[in-house]
Amino acid sequence: MKIADYFIHRRPIAWLLTLAIVVFGGISYQDLGRLEDPEFTVKEARIYTRYPGATPTEVEEEITHHIEDAVQQLSQLKRVTSSSWNGLSEVKVVIRDQFRADSLPQIWDELRRKVNDISRKLPPGASKPVVVDDFGDVYGIYLALTGEGFSNRELYDQARFLKRELLQVANVAKIQIAGQIPQQIKVEISRSRLSGLGIHPLAISDLLYRHNLVSDSGHLRIGDESIQILPNGGPQAVEALANLTLQGREGLVRLGDITHIEQEYREEPSQLIRNQGRAAVTLALSNVPGSNIVTLGDAVDQKLLELEQRLPAGMQLESIYSQPSAVKLSVAEFIKNLVEAVAIVIAVLLLAMGFRSGLLIGGVLLLTIGATFIVMQVLDINLQRVSLGALIIAMGMLVDNAIVVCEGILVRMEQGQNPIDASRRVISQTASPLLGATLVGILAFAAIGLSNDNTGEYTASMFYVILISLMLSWILAVTLTPVYCITFLKGGNASADSLYQGVIYSAYKSLLELVLKYRITTIILMLALLAMSVAGFGLVKRSFFPNSTQPVFYLDYWRAEATDIRATNQDILKIEKWLATQPEVVNYTSFVGRGAARHMLVYSPKYDNSSYAQIMIRSESADQIDAIGEKLVSWLDENLPDAEPKVRRIRLGPGREAKIEARFSGADPDVLRSLSEQAKQIMRDSQNAANVRDDWRQKIKQLQPDFSAQQARRTGLSRQDLIQALQQNFSGTTVGLYRDGTRLMPIVMQAQKKDRLNLDQIHDLPVWGRNRSKPVPLGELVSNVELNWIDPIIQRRNRKRTMTTSCDQQAGLASELFAKIKPQIEAIPLPPGYQLAWGGEYEDSTKANQALGKKLPLSFLAMLATVILLFGRLKQSLVIWLIVPLSLVGITAGLLGSGLPFGFMALLGALSLSGMLIKNAIVLVDQIDQEIAQGKPRMDAIVHSALSRARPVLMAALTTILGMLPLLSDAFFNAMAVVIMAGLAFATLLTLLVAPLLYAVIFKISATETTG
């Protein structure tokens, strides 16, 4: 090749380029962004609409239905699901897989316009729908502010100060504060005093509302000036509200004489947070997209050192979760694995190729990695689990090209050829086959990069890193490697035949000749092994993605639906006391009423539910999680038997929380509950199911006063008057806002505790009308008060009511439990109009494999076309491709022997293995073709080519296999590593034995076609 000649004759340029790669590769490594896991786009938005006082059915029909109508108009829509609660609609919008992050802002704008257009159809009393499109934002720096003796308001004030200061740190995008308990101005009225003085409750609410209004008093022109007029007497201290006066039957009455006014925390907060058992307010920081989270973490830590000096004595700022720290540990571990893999490969090269050749090829490997870092920085590919793993996976392939070139030049130099002539001859003969083999190796991973779903996006960097590194390895092999060989390798005077006279070569030659002699027997043996491996593969376990090795896990805790948050909190206090006694537990943070903020991409936050709580628990090591979880569940079963706890670990990669999900769809909630109960019973009867539940939760009680319109007309009262009276007695009515600096506190009017009537006295509740001076007892407006049971949540999926029944496995893999219960649940009779669909890990895995499978034909077609174009004939391509299925023998043996499951990453390993095998086979078949073209007898050409390519093929396989050793300890890559190591080990033998045999059979070469 001319480019090789260019560098051979201009060696200073070659050395300058080498120096540039070393220097800029080191700089790029330092500057590359760091992440723990690859980023993938959460293509989801949520639409919230409040409809106070409405039942879940009313919310579903009057709010959710219309919002779904608007969402359905989106051409980019993949799925719409919804949840309708008492007074709240939540619609989840999921966009199709092919749309990536850069197109989402435009899609969300279109969604807002459509939702805004439909909002005119919503009933009076409904709020304006709110579209939340930052649902996928990750708050990777998570802090808790605590302090003994400090009130929640004092903690919140300091949290606001910290937020203001931390937002000044470069690349901090947003900060969420959580854990604030809202304050309110409580105005407790005495009904007896009001009746005695003839004061209507509306008079009090109107007074408080008007007193806090901000209104424009106008401007006065004096000469050329315009002066604002602003009367004083606006918002004052809370205590001053008691001095407001209103007109009673006997004159002016002071508000404080008929009410009790107090500033207090809400009795029923929406969320309570504690860290290590101490009340806390949290700050969650997100970074600007594309910024280096590790650098940001260092900058935030530096800023916090300064800010902590300004906090009141006794306040502490503690870390709940630190993505920068996790990334540092994760990347450091992978860099260690990468260094170990490089060291292993170089050691193998030194032992097998000799000191000079081994050192030379090892140096080319390091240059390839350095050049890869440079291109990764240019293309903004971060260092993370998958990209670093890709480098380790590609390690053996990265030295393939250099081995073939170096081996060819060394052989010719040992035969006495001039180094420059030897380099030219080798490059001219091998450049095209090596390029074709390299392209095949890259195309084997192409389906990963082309896959559109979240799983494909999550693993896409594997394809891009392998594409970059393999192409660079070929470029360096045909440009710089000849220069290094000319400079460092020494020649000799050995004959061509003497190079393959060792014991290993002699044994291999004898075995190969035996295989070529007993062709039919060998083929039958190979087919038998293939059949056994196909049968054995059915015994291999299945999975999707493994759990993370982070020492963090969660307790999701549910009480019966509609449990008061204060009762839920009491249970969590008991659990915290137990956790405090466990020596393995390093830290725990409790979130009552709502889950934690999204602090990692694979974590999906839980929203408001008074019966729900979550505890994030950190142990000393990930190995202790299962034991702690088992002890915790056992303690909960004994001490809090009515609860529904679920211990779960952080998962790696996209997915969902429940491993097994059965979705029943249909119109009637009672039928759905019946079908769900049957499925749950099957799950329980399996003896291996845990966390059995459905997503509609338990039915809840609802009091329903039967309003009599006829009786109401006689009194001049309406249903709205009844509703206001009930709300004021039991929950309190918001009558205005109190302005306190930057805060707005609701003013809540409620009956005094001694006047609040319980259920037994509800008929005596006084009901006021706007135009009445005296109240009417509720009993005169209501014919009866019924206690009903209603569904607390109505879930829909793609416009159909859908109940999802779910569970996890107690032991083993979810796929094993799923295989057991699937036929039983599918045997449940479904009424007409009802459907069953499977979700969970089965659906995630199926969709990921389907998305990958759609791209596989294109990938394999490109690989096939490359091989055909390389040789220009079909027979050579047939020889090469017939090798690929036989790799299943090694894959099956490896997975069954290790006990590891065949998951998504193992599938990627099998695909990449096909590229490695074809790559090796191309080099061998091309050598046979070249020797036959040179006039050598065809059988001699087969044997000699196999001998001459044995060392490069074995070296490529050995470096790949041993380079994978560091990945065996990584939960994410271990199954993939076993597939490649075991498959390649067996398939390499096939390449050296069966490929020559297939060549001889397909080209009908007899054993007599030899010089003897």
Q: Is residue 256 part of a domain?
A: yes
Q: Is residue 382 part of a domain?
A: yes
Residue at 833: amino acid letter: G
Residue 859 CB partners (closer than 8 Å, separation 6+)? 443, 444, 446, 447, 450, 911
Q: Which tokens belong to 745? A: 């506190």
CATH code, domain carrying 615:
3.30.70.1430
Alpha-carbon span 51 to 793, nearest angstrom = 14
Alpha-carbon span 991 to 949, nearest angstrom = 10
Query: What Å distances lie between residue 918 and 392, 474, 557, CA to CA?
Result: 20, 16, 52
Pairing of strands 585-592, 612-619: antiparallel
Q: Which tokens belong to 829? A: 């009779």
Summarize pLDDT for 98-126 with one digit per residue, the tens.
888 888 899 999 999 999 999 888 999 89
CATH code, domain carrying 818:
3.30.70.1440
Give the burial class of 758: count Cβ atoms within 10 A of its Cβ; 0-12 exposed, 13-18 middle, 19 or more buried. Answer: exposed
Contact 269, 182 (CB under 8 A): yes
684 and 628, same structural domain? no
Question: Which residue is associated with the tokens 């530096």?
Answer: 302
Q: Give the three-state DSSP class for 125.
A: coil
Alpha-carbon span 542 to 550, nearest angstrom = 23
646 and 557, same structural domain? yes
Alpha helix ranges (H) inside 642-718: 669-685, 709-715
672 and 817, same structural domain? yes
Final residue of a domain: which of 790, 814, 845?
790
Q: Is residue 218 part of a domain?
A: no
CA-angle at 75, arms to 72 and 79, nearest 5° = 55
Tell me how far the alpha carbon of residue 655 is from its chain's centroid. 7
pLDDT of 1: 55
Q: Which residues of the chain have pLDDT under 50?
A: 495-496
786 and 670, same structural domain? no
459 and 512, same structural domain? no
812 and 675, same structural domain? yes
pLDDT of 1011: 60
pLDDT of 232: 64
How crowded is residue 690: how many other Cβ atoms within 10 Å of its Cβ?
17
Question: Which residue is associated with the tokens 């207090």?
Answer: 264
Summarize pLDDT for 68-106 with one digit per residue, the tens.
999 999 999 999 999 999 999 999 999 988 888 888 899
972 and 935, same structural domain? yes
User: Phi then psi for 690, rounded to 5 degrees?
Assistant: -130, 160
Closest CA to 299 of 186, 171, 182: 171
Q: Is residue 387 part of a domain?
A: yes
Helix or strand run (H / E) with residue 729: helix 719-730
27 and 54, same structural domain? no
Q: Which tokens belong to 278? A: 């101490």
Contact 142, 300 (CB under 8 A): no
Query: What Å distances lie between residue 806 and 191, 508, 795, 866, 939, CA to CA?
Result: 50, 56, 14, 47, 63
Residue at 903: amino acid letter: G
Residue 106 CB partners (closer than 8 Å, separation 6+)? none
For 109, the domain range is 43-135
Q: Is residue 578 part of a domain?
A: yes
797 and 782, same structural domain? no
Contact 623, 547 (CB under 8 A): no
Q: Is residue 157 part of a domain?
A: no
Alpha-carbon span 479 to 547, nearest angstrom = 44
Question: Which residue is associated with the tokens 């004759």?
Answer: 9
Residue 32 CB partners (closer than 8 Å, separation 6+)? 373, 376, 377, 381, 382, 383
pLDDT of 59: 95
Residue at 282: amino acid letter: T
Q: For residues 194-213, b (16+ Cβ closer than 10 Å) or e, as one string?
A: beebebbbeebbebbeebbe
Pairing of strands 183-189, 743-751: parallel
How crowded is residue 988: how many other Cβ atoms within 10 Å of its Cβ?
23
Alpha helix ranges (H) inside 502-640: 503-517, 519-537, 565-579, 625-639
777 and 744, same structural domain? yes
Residue at 479: amino acid letter: T
- CA neighbours within 13 Å on the CB side: how many for 926? 25
Q: Which tokens belong to 15? A: 């050395």
CATH code, domain carrying 733:
3.30.2090.10
805 and 684, same structural domain? yes
Alpha-carbon span 778 to 240, nearest angstrom = 34
Alpha-carbon span 917 to 984, nearest angstrom = 7
* Number of structural domains found in the chain: 6
Final residue of a domain: which of 760, 790, 820?
790
Q: Which tokens belong to 166? A: 């931390």
Alpha-carbon span 322 to 507, nearest angstrom = 57
The CA dihedral of 577, 578, 583, 585, to the nearest 10 degrees, is: -80
Contact 945, 927 (CB under 8 A): yes
Query: What Å distances lie between residue 648 and 282, 612, 653, 936, CA to CA?
Result: 22, 15, 15, 66
Question: Which residue is associated with the tokens 């009901």?
Answer: 767
CATH code, domain carrying 933:
1.20.1640.10
Pairing of strands 88-95, 259-265: unpaired
Q: Is residue 544 part of a domain?
A: no
Alpha-carbon span 836 to 449, nearest angstrom = 33
Final residue of a domain: which of 807, 835, 863?
835
Residue 515 CB partners (closer than 8 Å, separation 6+)? 522, 993, 994, 996, 997
Contact 72, 115 (CB under 8 A): no
CA-angle at 561, arms to 555 and 567, nearest 5° = 70
Contact 283, 176 (CB under 8 A): yes
Q: Which tokens belong to 530? A: 């293939």
Q: Is residue 854 part of a domain?
A: no
pTM: predicted TM-score of the whole model, two decimal places: 0.83
785 and 731, same structural domain? yes
